[in-house]
A and B are shown apart, each in its own frame.
Chain A
Amino acid sequence: MLSRLGPVFAIGLLTAPVAFGLAGTVLPAFGFLPALGGMRFSLAPLAALFAEPAIAASALMSLLTGLSTALVSLIAVMLFTAAWSGTRAFARVQHLISPLLSVPHAAAAFALAFLIAPSGLLIRMVSPELTGWHRPPDLLIVHDPMGLTMMAGLIVKEIPFLLLMTLAALPQVKPARTRTLIAAMGYGRIAGFVFGLWPQIYPQIRLPVFAVIAFATSVVDVAAILGPTTPPPLAVRLVGWMNDPDLSMRFLASAGALLQLAVTALAIGLWIGLEKLAARLRDRCAGAGLRLRADAPVRWAALAVMLLSALAIFAGLAALALWSVAGLWQFPDALPASFELRNWLRVLPHLLEPLRTTLIVALVSTAIATLIAILCLAREDEMGHPPGRGALALIYLPLIVPQVAFLFGLQLLFILIGSAATLTALILAHLVFVLPYAYLCLKDPWRAFDKRYDQLAAGLGKPAWRRFLSIRLPMMTRPILTVVAIGFSVSIGLYLPTVLIGAGRLTTITSEAVALASGGNRRVIGIYAFLQMMLPIIGFAVATLVPALIFRRFRDMQV
């Protein structure tokens, strides 16, 4: 009975905010916003937008960032999976990379900045011995005008995401069998995989790839931390206009959001063109029977890229942690001269309020999202079939429409109904992004449950609710808690929903951390980014320990 509500809530939560948000964005872009006196449709906001200096450069930067992030991370994941899946090295790298998924984008971006900046850990390690530098070199590494550092920051975060998506799709194509079959025909490992397995895997990770493109074309936090400043990518400028105290800037911001929507759509359109081109190239190579057996350099390069991307974040996170407790730390010393907790003690009073908001929003939105995901899956059991392709595309809707394009309209709506900057509004905004992940991460373990347990319990005379509470839920404790930890980490990492819906009055650790980026106080940034990284880790630790404790007497409930 109750499970009927699951899909209703899910569809409502996924579509209504996006639809209303888009409407709230698009209408003001054409001059219609009664609350601010815009009663007539006009093209003035768009004209004003295109009169902004270097707006085309900003848009182009966003477009290229989206495409190159998706291209590089997807190729790295594809080649790595092709070259190493089924080996022990693959399993090891997988274990190394998986935890990175829970590191918030902003924390990963800070980590990279702390590692490769002119006064970062890397240059300190080799200075002055190798470089002769006694002062940080005058290089524009972070905030470089080409946006390369920003792209690198996005790529190292998207690699774990695409790898996990690929891993989820991999078992369905029976890789071991096909690999043997193709190897027997004399194909190299990578060529065999790309010709034989990848065409079946890619359609399953296509929506996640689109999500990567949408995210990277419209990213704000990573761009603010690592991205170019003259001019910044489009989304960063948009947020500036949206938060401008001069309310008439909202028209300009709306027009910009519309442009953002177009840029993301164009990026995905170009990507679809690339897909076609790549498929044709693959078919030509496969048709020519190219064995491509001398692929050792590519295999090792793929492994190196994966290791490098993971190690860069880990080293950067270590640098962050060091800075948070550093006393005097002069260039080019590799380590601080002293360690102290004074930084923490000084920041702590300012931390508590954002921390409280962070935890409340993350816990409540995750709890609701998990509950809805469970109800949806229980409903699928009753219906006897999973949702169709349309419903699945709906799940990805909030991940594929650029956040900034609908959150801004949502912010206006919340202002109109007088609930902007309330906890309820913020939780709702987070829920829109947590729910897709909760559903996507729970569906496979949920469907993997052996239905015979349920039939058996029915034969023992137990009604459906009793079977659900006594058998299904306890046996699913571990995957459910994992999903809670994932949802929690997604909410912790959300930047834009917090900034726009919290409207500066409700702040979280992530929004505070990004706000500190321009200030450049490394000790304080270190503390916020460290916390950002630790909260998801604590979540996952709890999700692992709690079932281990509850079911400590039952071996089959461990693993």
Chain B
Amino acid sequence: MNTGLTETGLFLDRVTIALDGREIVALTRRVAPGAVLTVMGPSGAGKSTLLAYVGGFLDPVFEAGGRAYVDDLEITALKPEDRHMGILFQDPLLFPHMSVGGNLLFALPQDVRGREARRARMCHALAGVGLAGLEDRDPATLSGGQKARVALARVLAAAPRALLLDEPFSKLDAALRQQMRELVFAKARESGLPVLLVTHDEADAKAAGGDIVKIGE
């Protein structure tokens, strides 16, 4: 759990985001590897804006201050593609012009070399979310739950430094939602990834089990 003493994990250091001079987010928090920080607030409160800031694609209309670190690395000094923040949105957003396996291969880091090795890693990642053997499928033919799993496998395959979750369970039906929550948080713990979750669903926060920050109230 987050003791606040470790120097590892995701550290948001005096992060402030303002729109037209009005401050909408002000936050200093540390998220330990495998732990979840849940940011809650009504829609339009700037939850997703915080994720955009950490991910590196904040709309220029916002003014942002402060820094974000993963371990000792200041990620806010890096370009989005060098931050390696794995993002899950409400929608799975599988690339529609690639097979399921193609989606994962695209995500695998370049240093996994050799066709066979990459393919093995891809199949392993698919099996890890319970979808072994689906690599040649068109993503459009998967069920909603399968798509969500592929999206998770894809984001993990890229070996991210942290996970940014933008209400990733809100479009799943109730039974599936509980399953996906467990799977995502289990995978994050397994890989020791700090997780920043934004949601307006209390049940998400409860399942995440970590600290909760409320903004915009």
Among residues of A, the one whose C-beta sits closest to the C-beta of B85 is A459
Q: Tell me if B155 counts as interface (CB < 8 A to partner A).
A: yes
A452: chain B residues within 8 A (beta carbon) = 87, 89, 91, 93
A462 touches B140 (CB 8 A): no
> Does B99 lie at the interface of the complex (its beta carbon under 8 Å from any beta carbon of A)?
yes
In chain B, residues 147-180, which have Cβ atoms closer than 8 Å to a Cβ of chain A? 154-155, 158, 160, 164
Partner-contacting stretch, out of B25-33, B63-71, B75-83:
B75-83
CB distance from A546 to the nearest CB of B (A): 14
Known: A553-B138, A555-B141. A459 touches B80 (CB 8 A): yes
A-facing mask of B27-47, CB < 8 A → 1, else 0? 000000000000000000000
Contact B158 A460 (CB under 8 A): yes
Q: Given A459-B80, A460-B106, decide whether A450 and B140 contact each other with a Cβ distance below 8 A.
A: no
A463 CB–B CB distance under 8 Å: yes
Report the minimal beta-carbon distance from B110 to chain A, rounded to whole angstroms.
Answer: 8
A464 beta carbon closer than 8 Å to chain B: yes
Q: Which of B97, B138, B139 has the most CB of A within 10 A?
A: B97
Q: How far is the CA of A450 from the CA of B90 in the complex (A)?
A: 13
Q: How many residues of A contact B (CB 8 A)?
A: 28
Hey, which chain B residues are within 8 Å of A461, CB to CB?
81-82, 84, 109, 158
Asked whether, in the complex, the Cβ of B87 is within 8 Å of the Cβ of A455, the reply is yes
Instruction: Tally A-B pairs: CB < 8 A.
Output: 82
Q: Is B9 an interface residue (CB 8 A)?
A: no
How far, in Å, is B9 (CB) from chain A's closest CB? 18
Q: Smallest CB–CB gap between A550 and chain B, Å?
A: 8
Q: Is the Cβ of B81 less than 8 Å from the Cβ of A463?
A: yes
- B96-A556 in contact (CB<8A): yes
Question: A474 interface residue, CB < 8 Å from B?
Answer: yes
Tell me, in angstroms, the Cα distance from A455 to B80 when the chains sit together: 8
Which residues from chain A contact B138 at a C-beta distance below 8 Å? 553-556
Q: B145: CB under 8 A from chain A?
A: no
Q: Tell whether A96 is near chain B: CB-to-CB under 8 Å.
A: no
Task: Give the residues from 449 to 474 in chain A that come closer than 8 angstroms, CB to CB, to chain B.
Answer: 450-464, 467, 470-471, 474
A245 within 8 A of B: no
Please report the C-alpha to C-alpha distance between residue A474 and residue B97 in the assembled complex, in whole angstroms.
7
| B89 partner, pick from A456, A463, A474, beta carbons under 8 A | A456
Q: Taking each of A451, A477, A555, A556, which has the highest tally of chain B beta carbons within 10 Å of its own beta carbon? A: A556
Is A464 a contact partner of B97 (Cβ separation < 8 A)? no
Please pick, from A455, A462, A474, A553, the residue contacting B55 in the complex, using a CB distance under 8 A: A455
CB within 8 A of B155: which of A459, A467, A557? A459
Complex: chain B residue closest to A474, CB-CB:
B97
Contact B96 A459 (CB under 8 A): no
For A462, give its contact among B81, B85, B96, B164 (CB under 8 Å).
Answer: B81
Q: Assess A556 versus B139: contact at CB under 8 Å? Given A452-B93, A474-B97, A475-B96.
A: yes
Residues of A522-543 contacting chain B, CB below 8 A? none
| CB of B107 closer than 8 Å to a CB of A | yes
Tell me the nearest residue of chain B to A556, going by C-beta: B96
How many residues of B sit at the interface, in one of the four size bands?
Answer: 35 or more
On whether the beta carbons of B155 and A475 are closer than 8 Å, the reply is no
Looking across the interface, which residue of chain A has its beta carbon closest to that of B56? Answer: A458
**How distant is A98 from chain B, measured CB to nearest CB, in Å?**
25
State the Cβ distance, A536 to closest chain B Cβ, in Å.
27
Distance in Å: Cβ of B109 to nearest Cβ of chain A: 7
Does A460 lie within 8 Å of B140, measured CB to CB?
no
Report whether A453 and B85 are in contact in the complex, using a CB–CB cutoff of 8 Å. no
B185 close to A (CB within 8 Å): no
Q: Considering the complex, give the chain A residue whose CB is closest to the CB of B160.
A: A459
Q: Give Cα distance in the complex from A460 to B89, angstroms.
A: 13
Q: Bound state CA distance, A169 and B60, in angstroms?
A: 27
Asked whether A384 is an interface residue with its Cβ less than 8 Å from the other chain, the reply is yes
* A459 CA to B52 CA, complexed, in Å: 11
Residues of B within 8 A of A450 (CB): 93
Please state if B160 and A554 are interface contacts (CB–CB under 8 Å). no
Q: Which listed residue, A384, A458, A475, A555, touches B80 by the CB 8 Å rule?
A: A458
B81 touches A456 (CB 8 A): no
B83 touches A459 (CB 8 A): yes
Assess the B81–A458 pair: CB atoms within 8 A. yes
| CB–CB B154/A553 < 8 A | no
Query: In the complex, A455→B155 CA distance in Å?
Result: 12
Q: Are B97 and A554 in contact (CB under 8 A)?
A: yes
CB-based contact A459/B95 at 8 Å:
no
B59 at the interface (CB under 8 A from A): yes
Q: Are A460 and B55 in contact (CB under 8 A)?
A: no
Q: Is A551 an interface residue (CB 8 A)?
A: yes
B-chain residues with CB within 8 Å of residue A464 when the two chains form the complex: 81
Give 1 or 0 for each of A416-451: 1 = CB within 8 Å of chain B CB: 000000000000000000000000000000000011
Q: Which residues of B contact A384 (CB under 8 A)?
A: 59-61
Cβ B87 vs Cβ A459 within 8 A: yes
Contact B87 A557, beta carbon cutoff 8 Å: no
**Sample (12) of A-B pairs whose CB atoms are under 8 Å apart:** A384-B61, A451-B57, A452-B93, A453-B93, A458-B57, A459-B80, A459-B86, A462-B106, A471-B95, A554-B99, A554-B138, A557-B96
Given contacts A456-B155, A463-B79, 7 further A-B contacts (CB under 8 A): A456-B87, A456-B93, A458-B56, A459-B55, A459-B158, A460-B106, A461-B109
Residues of B within 8 A of A (CB): 52, 55-57, 59-61, 79-87, 89, 91, 93, 95-99, 106-107, 109, 138-141, 154-155, 158, 160, 164
